[in-house]
């Protein structure tokens, strides 16, 4: 509950919960105000999963700590900023920057699909943040269109709830039920551990969704995961144009043959120049929006 006795709840003596923004299986996202720094923030109220006869508070605590520590060690305009982590009244709360944004999923569902230049620009921005995370040793492990936020000025990767440090032996190779199967790399479906290459496959699948208006594999078909393990290939994209080389390189089944992040960044910058969008070198964040960005 955000209010008690008719007054907004105050967390940690400084964060005033105002109203719920969204709810999913991982928790409730709240709009809140930081009284100390006088700024609006978003706060995730982490919902523990239920196992057996009750809530698994230990799992919720580990997940919240992983999300806050993984995102908290990163500082990049294309990665959500985490400000604080609280445990109060038996619940966990992650304090993050407040963004007025639509997800990539919401945007594509509204427009049907995105033009090539928008998709390439989103990919170029997002890949800069993903390269920053990988450089810091953080694997996201759950990239999909619902975790990609579009503000009109920034593309921001969120949803670090199952992120892990690269090479951490304590992280399970099991794919959490909260993951979107259509965006999970084939090798992970075969039980292999997460890797930067697996994140890049999920990144490529999200770009495929953006430009085609659908996932590379059916999102509602439970058999699609089995088909992918046994060698099924996605339908070739029909709207990708110059993005085809990028998508084919990112969506290769063999992680050893998949394009690396630096190569993908160069390919995306070439597509943007072909589309008349001026961008800086691939290692730098984009600062100029493409023409008519995020408008119908």
CATH number at residue 135: 1.10.510.10
The tens digit of pLDDT for each residue in 113-167 reads 999 999 999 999 999 999 999 998 889 888 999 999 999 889 999 887 665 655 4
Structure tokens at 264: 């993908």
The 8-class DSSP code of residue 49 comes to P
φ, ψ of residue 80 to 5 degrees: the values are: -60, 135
Is residue 151 domain-shared with residue 125, that is, in the same domain? yes
- Are 251 and 236 contained in the same domain? yes
- Residues 72, 50 share a domain: yes
Report the range of poorest mean pLDDT among 32-46, 89-103, 169-183, 217-231: 169-183
User: Is 73 within the bounds of a domain?
Assistant: yes
Same domain, 168 and 267: yes
**Cβ-count burial of 4 within 10 angstroms (0-12 exposed, 13-18 middle, 19+ buried)?**
exposed
Span 84-93, average pLDDT: 84
Same domain membership, residue 247 and residue 117: yes
pLDDT, average across residues 255-261: 95
Domain boundary among 97, 116, 135: 97
The rounded distance, in Å, linking the Cα atoms of 198 and 28 is 28
Give the model confidence (pLDDT) of 73-83 as tens digits.
888 999 998 88
CB half-sphere exposure, 167, CA atoms < 13 A: 4
Domain that holds residue 88: 11-97
Residues 128 and 268 in one domain: yes
pLDDT (tens digit per residue) in 197-249: 999 999 999 999 999 999 988 765 555 666 665 577 788 999 999 999 999 99
d(CA 210, CA 127): 15
Q: Quick one: which of 194, 250, 207, 212 has its CA closest to 66?
A: 194
Tell me how far apart the alpha carbons of residues 181 and 201 are, in angstroms, rounded to a whole number: 12
- How many folded domains does the chain comprise? 2
Residue-level pLDDT at 71:
75
What per-residue confidence (pLDDT) applies to 11?
A: 93
Whether residue 27 is contained in a domain is answered as yes
Last residue of a domain, one of 65, 97, 129: 97
107-115: which pairs have CB atoms within 8 A and are 24 or more residues apart?
107/150, 107/294, 108/145, 108/209, 108/210, 108/213, 111/296, 112/213, 113/210, 113/211, 113/212, 113/213, 113/239, 114/210, 114/211, 115/211
């Amino acid at each position: 509950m955000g209010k008690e006795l008719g007054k907004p709840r105050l967390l940690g003596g400084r964060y005033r919960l105002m109203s719920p923004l969204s709810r999913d299986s991982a928790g409730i996202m709240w709009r809140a105000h930081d009284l100390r720094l006088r700024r609006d923030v978003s706060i995730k109220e982490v919902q523990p999963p239920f196992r057996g006869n009750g809530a698994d508070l230990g799992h919720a605590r580990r997940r919240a700590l992983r999300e806050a520590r993984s995102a908290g060690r990163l500082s990049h305009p294309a990665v959500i900023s985490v400000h604080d982590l609280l445990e109060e009244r038996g619940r966990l709360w992650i304090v993050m920057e407040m963004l007025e944004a639509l997800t990539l999923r919401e945007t594509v569902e509204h427009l049907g699909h995105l033009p090539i230049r928008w998709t390439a620009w989103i990919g170029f921005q997002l890949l800069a943040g993903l390269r920053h995370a990988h450089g810091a040793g953080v694997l996201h492990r759950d990239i999909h269109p619902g975790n990609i936020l579009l503000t009109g000025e920034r593309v921001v990767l969120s949803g670090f709830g199952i992120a892990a440090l690269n090479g951490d032996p304590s992280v399970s190779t099991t794919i959490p039920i909260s993951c979107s199967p259509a965006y999970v790399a084939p090798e992970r479906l075969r039980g292999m551990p997460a890797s930067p290459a697996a994140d890049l496959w999920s990144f490529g699948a999200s770009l495929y969704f953006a430009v085609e208006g659908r996932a590379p594999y059916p999102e509602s078909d439970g058999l699609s995961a089995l088909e992918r393990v046994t060698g099924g290939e996605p339908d070739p994209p029909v709207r990708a144009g110059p993005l085809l080389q990028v998508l084919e390189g990112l969506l290769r089944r063999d992680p050893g043959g998949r394009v690396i992040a630096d190569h993908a960044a160069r390919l995306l910058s070439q597509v943007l120049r072909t589309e008349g969008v001026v961008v800086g070198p691939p290692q730098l964040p984009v600062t100029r929006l493409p023409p008519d960005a995020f408008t119908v």
